Structure 1
């Protein structure tokens, strides 16, 4: 009887997990809004600072760079300090670069915009905090859906795409940034007082660098990093660059492009937990394959410039759903295969790869844009080729049927 009750205590639902998942989701969403404040009004920066397409692409992509690299460290630190401390600190600190970016825009300085956009990348690191935090609250059979639901916080990019241009119009450039910074501080306070780490979580006091080295030696880390670089990287690239794309190709103004970008992001956000849930049912390899095949096909369709509104809108929504399913399924795969003691470190590296995957496409799009025909054909076909390669790699991994490291006794080392 005692053994049975103890087993029930370990495997049963933990009280408070829903509240903590919701707080993690809110913190992730508001920091992602902050992370993406340059992209939705990028065309204004281009006009005010007389930027070339390549310079604008660099300004949009720079926060993604730090938000990617920083996840490696924040994932490992979450293993040590827990999600409550990390979410609270990162959400509050993110308010600082938001104000600095505002100052750079007011000063009309492109170098300062790049510098402070680099610091703004801090806001993009919270993803690596949430995955190990949520994992600790849910048993393995529910982690695909739970991490997918948490990942819906990437909808902060949709909030930014929709509201940031409108706030700039109604409140002004300066007060928009002040309002976002204030929201970050409020959410940080709510998280600090309302969030708790899971009772099943225990701090890993090992030094950070050896932990990262251990995670880097795991084959699963780099397998998932590649797949996440394609799926999440594709989402980030579209979310940040789509306002510029829609303006150049279809002639939409700032608010119109922002509305359509928000629709793209919302579709991907909804698809992410669905991808996690379907992975729990059918396996993450199947859903990841479907995601990548869909992305490859839709890249070709979009490159043909389907006419607005219905056909173009449907094409971008289909691309968003494809990428969203993949972002959910890949991390369901991580939750299944990463050793429990290394989830934060593995998440940090995989999450960083996803961010890096979102850094380069805007640069490629800016470099391959044809101003005479208003086309991004080369960049989109490169996306198709990348997704196709990832699809073949997914089939290879599925056929290998690699063992799950968590099933092994001990620390989970390979």
Structure 2
């Protein structure tokens, strides 16, 4: 991938700063759309008399589609550029958002599942932003750039906090209309203000061969496994935590949403920290710290620390470790992925992260002990997974020194 030459582009800092900010905004709005069902899942479960498994399916379906769709969207970004794909994903998400609102307003579980499937389109936005940010920034700052873009995950926090309140203030269907309008405005902003990096070169190779080539790279599957744990853990909790909090601590949907928003904000703020750290020390050590902390906090959560101080401290610490890990993993991808395959590799890795978020809500729902009202098995499985990822990273993966800025040793 070509690096940015500041000598021939004196205004490059302002241009790339604007484009990174726009990309982060687009991500935030699409993540909000992607997470429209999660904050309302307890409301749907009560109104529609859903079982724990049915409610988990409702939460998990958009996650699955958002994950798998990233594989194709990442390759299309290599070909058409981030600007075109940001617009395409935002526009394509408008109808599913409205359809989910309609299905919820008439109380149809089958339609919620069906339209929730298409709502997953919004979740593919992540596979657009990583290659887009990589093209705008030199290698020494790509950890920072991808970390800042990753702060678009704040959309999940916005959704967790505001969606239940909007429903209470305006009604279910008007709330979805508001997000649909936000998506449309976002697409217009991209059309008017956003530009691809001058160093972006379209990769016009057919999508399938590009994906096959990316699938043959060891880095693709190594990073996919790591990202499935850290980003999957974030997505799973950001979507399922309202149900968990209401079940264990008996908070209302609005209060559970506020606490979930705190979890999401902590992970969002930690992500650029993880990316920036990985610009300065080998990403391996950032990721190892993330897995160790995740395992420790998930273990503490098994004992159901009392609200609000101790439970909040436990889950916010968990969010911080997961957020640092997401930033560290993608900084590692930026160091190791071949230049012309960043979008394809990113698409597969991002899909793995989404898939990592698909299964935990189903597991949590299936293993929930309604007699003792606990999620011990699901949380214990998270501890085991994080420890396995720690061992794999420590024993099988080599530390890669971060690329240094010009003029540094």
TM bracket (short chain): over 0.9
List alignment gaps of at least 5 residues for structure 2: 403-409
Cα deviation per residue 1:234-270 (whole Å; 9 max; x = unaligned)? Answer: 0000000000000000000011000000000000000
Q: How does 1:172-187 map to 2 (within 5 A)?
A: 172-187=171-186
Assess if the C-alpha contact under 8 Å between 1:14 and 1:138 holds in 2. Answer: no
1:411 maps to which residue? none
Q: Secondary structure at the match of 1:187?
A: helix
2:197 maps to which residue? 198
Q: Under a length normalisation based on structure 1, what TM-score does the superposition of the two structures give?
A: 0.94
Cα deviation per residue 1:36-70 (whole Å; 9 max; x = unaligned)? Answer: 01000111100111100000000000000000000
CA distance in 2, matches of 1:354, 1:155: 17
CA distance in 2, matches of 1:191, 1:309: 41
CA distance in 2, matches of 1:355, 1:94: 17
Q: How does 1:103-252 map to 2 (within 5 A)?
A: 103-252=102-251
CA distance in 2, matches of 1:23, 1:187: 9
CA distance in 2, matches of 1:397, 1:332: 18
Q: Secondary structure at the match of 2:324?
A: helix
2:63 maps to which residue? 64
CA distance in 2, matches of 1:352, 1:6: 32
Q: Secondary structure at the match of 2:204?
A: coil
Cα deviation per residue 1:138-193 (whole Å; 9 max; x = unaligned)? Answer: 00000001100100101100000000000000001111011111111011111111
CA distance in 2, matches of 1:122, 1:370: 33
Cα deviation per residue 1:207-246 (whole Å; 9 max; x = unaligned)? Answer: 0000000000000000000000000000000000000000
1:343 maps to which residue? 342
Assess if the C-alpha contact under 8 Å between 2:228 and 2:352 holds in 1. Answer: yes
1:262 maps to which residue? 261
Aligned length: 400
- Runs of 4+ in structure 1 deviating by more than 3 angstroms, as ranges, are 5-15, 400-404
Q: Compared with structure 1, are the counterparts of its residues 252 and 221 closer, same or farther at alpha carbon in structure 2 (3 Å cutoff)?
A: same
CA distance in 2, matches of 1:9, 1:308: 56
Assess if the C-alpha contact under 8 Å between 1:303 and 1:376 holds in 2. Answer: yes
Query: Pairwise CA RMSD of aligned residues?
Result: 1.7
CA distance in 2, matches of 1:11, 1:295: 42
Assess if the C-alpha contact under 8 Å between 1:11 and 1:139 holds in 2. Answer: no
State the 1:397 CA deviation. 3.8
